[in-house]
Amino acid sequence: MNIAASTQLFIILGLTLIFFIWGRWRYDVVAVLALLAASLLGIVPAQQTFSGLGHPAVITVAAVLIISKALQNSGILDHFASYLVKTTDNTLLYTSLLVGVAAILSAFMNNVGALALLMPLALRSTSENKIPPAAILMPLSFGTILGGLMTLMGTPPNIIIASYRQQISGEPFAIFDFAPVGFFLALAGVIFVTLIGQKLIPKARRGKQSPEELFEINDYIVEAVVTSASQYLQTPVSELEKQSENFEIVGLLRGQQRIMGKRHLEQVELREKDILILETDPGKLPELLEKLGLELVSEVALKKKDLDSEEVSVVEAVVVPGSRVEKRSFQNLRLQSRYGIALLGIARQGRSLKQRLNHVNLQAGDILLVQGETTNVFEMINRLGCLPLAKRNLKVSKPDAFWPIAGFATALTVSAMGWVPVHIAFCTTIALLGLFKIFPMRDAYEAIDWPVILLLAAMIPLGQALENTGGTALITDTITGLSAYTGPVVILTIVMIVTMTLSDIMNNAATAVIMAPIATAVAIKLGVNPDAFLMAVAVGASCAFLTPIGHQNNILVMGPGGYRFGDYWRLGLPLEILIIALGVPLICWFWPL
């Protein structure tokens, strides 16, 4: 054991954990800095510093993300999910079907992709049936997480655990090796969150309005008429906006004509009695009206539907963790000029922000009300890394739409039969879809969650270094020391609880990388089956229900559901207790110690 090196590595990993919890810096940046620090100190050999980029687990995660996007873009899953959940008007049965479908989809595609398919459907149903979004969205998020327990590609921790098993034994877990334990846990979890979940969500949140009602746009979007005294008559709208940074023109009414969207407004010259729709800070409004020669129109308050037209649509979208807009403002990103998108509103944790919107630094989970060209607004939102809350009008065109399904099924089959490694089968499918232009390679690159890839690529060498320096052995000795007072089943339970706790406060993939070698070493020292301990890590790393930061999906439903940070443990804690109570016996049954 290299005491000095292991001590230095413990310090690096401890600081990494602190920065993960703090959340001020992106987790991929933190992980890469930790790797570079270990490399500079000689803990990670220079030739192995970036070896994680070529690791099978990293390649498999990237491939699963791409295939998930191809399946999502095909439109087939949208139609399947929509048809299935429309079969009943009963709220409880509807919620059960929705969460059940979420779990099934998540078993075979990326969790975020499954949520992206179903959240617009859930929000539309809550609006139509007057059901509070908070009553459905948290169970929906938890359902997508639970579904990932069932298969290899369901969640990155399973991929990491399977890859680590190959490293130590020469044979990875197969695609459906996770199913015996994962299926029963997912089934029990779905039943729990649908039958009991709504009762555990705070009543104040259950009464929150839908996204359509959330934005009180009349607080910062007003109508003002151009008077005969205005010095800007016959002036293009684009020139008028240059007169001040305190407002933005998002529409113009001229008689029966409605002109919406920046690109349609730029060259329109102002006339007397034109009505401008302005987005501005209420405190700046009187000064602005006087300067521009406008008068406030005091009529019925504006609604969201008043801001769109045949050419322009107004859409809600959620800021995804790690997206290019997170922690930046619209003004800083120059989204108006680059993408033709106007920001009309921001809602954060169920409350509409009323300050100057273009200057607000966006946070993960914020809901944005944006205005853009109907033909490409969804594409622009996706490029920004945000998740649209409206359902796209996808058309399933045969036969191209079915090729991603066929390719995925083929890759799944040859992998399950053991004929081809998972990462090779999936990458071959992606290459063929790209070769025949069924799925554009540009979309493939955009589908990859690069922060997660960098996180994994950085953490894998650090995990290997923990073993090489003797750090894993030191932790193992501490845990196995408890065996003098208890049996291996209790140690297995402790490993699952520790893993689950870490996953609630840091990325689940990073948790699996750190805990897999520790769990294996503990099992070997106790003289029991390492597979059981690896399964405990797989389950624990995937079950992040206590906080919104434990899993991307928890953050994504936070804004639309109007949840607060402390709401998650109310449903998440009993669910985690249930997972532990059922998971340990199931693991011991299917993977005997």
pLDDT tens for the chain, 593 residues long, are 678 888 899 899 989 888 887 777 888 899 999 999 999 999 999 898 999 888 898 999 999 989 888 887 777 776 666 666 666 667 778 888 889 999 999 999 888 888 888 888 788 777 666 677 888 889 999 999 999 999 998 899 999 999 999 988 989 999 999 999 999 999 999 999 998 887 888 765 555 455 556 666 666 677 888 888 888 888 888 777 777 666 778 788 888 787 777 677 777 888 888 888 877 776 677 877 877 888 887 555 566 666 667 677 888 888 888 787 888 887 777 666 666 677 777 888 767 776 667 778 888 888 888 887 777 788 778 778 788 887 655 555 555 678 888 888 899 899 888 888 888 999 999 999 988 888 888 888 888 888 889 989 999 999 889 888 888 888 888 888 877 678 899 999 999 999 999 898 888 888 999 999 999 999 999 999 999 999 999 999 999 899 888 888 998 888 888 888 888 999 999 999 999 999 999 999 999 98
The last residue of one of the domains, among 253, 271, 303, is 303
Residue 437 lies in a domain: no
Shared-domain flag, residues 286 and 236: yes
What was the pLDDT predicted at 305?
63
Q: Which among 86, 68, 238, 231 has a CA at the least distance from the CA of 148?
A: 68
The last residue of one of the domains, among 273, 303, 333, is 303
Shared-domain flag, residues 154 and 251: no
Shared-domain flag, residues 279 and 258: yes
Residue 421 lies in a domain: no
| Boundaries of domain holding 254 | 214-303
Residue 414 lies in a domain: no
Residue 54 lies in a domain: yes
How far is 501 from 520, CA to CA, in rounded Å?
18
How far is 65 from 22, CA to CA, in rounded Å?
27
CB 350 within 8 A of CB 559: yes
How far is 251 from 223, CA to CA, in rounded Å?
9
Shared-domain flag, residues 24 and 44: yes
Shared-domain flag, residues 153 and 10: yes
Shared-domain flag, residues 199 and 52: yes
In the chain, the number of structural domains is 3
What was the pLDDT predicted at 121?
79
Residue 425 lies in a domain: no
User: Which residues, 6 or more positions from 499, have their beta carbon under 8 angstroms from its beta carbon?
Assistant: 511, 512, 515, 519, 536, 537, 539, 540, 541
User: What are the tens digits of pLDDT across the range 521-573?
Assistant: 999 999 999 999 999 999 999 998 998 888 889 988 888 888 888 889 999 99
Shared-domain flag, residues 105 and 189: yes
What was the pLDDT predicted at 274?
86
Residue 39 lies in a domain: yes
CB 120 within 8 A of CB 317: no
Shared-domain flag, residues 136 and 267: no
Shared-domain flag, residues 161 and 72: yes
Q: Please give the radius of gyration of the chain, using alpha carbons only, rounded to the nearest integer.
A: 26
Shared-domain flag, residues 317 and 297: no
- Domain holding 281: CATH number? 3.30.70.1450
Shared-domain flag, residues 504 and 541: yes
Residue 417 lies in a domain: no
The last residue of one of the domains, among 303, 337, 366, is 303
User: CB 32: neighbour CB atoms within 10 A?
Assistant: 17
Residue 418 lies in a domain: no
Shared-domain flag, residues 173 and 84: yes
**Angle between the 91-108 and 134-147 helix axes, to the nearest 10 degrees?**
30
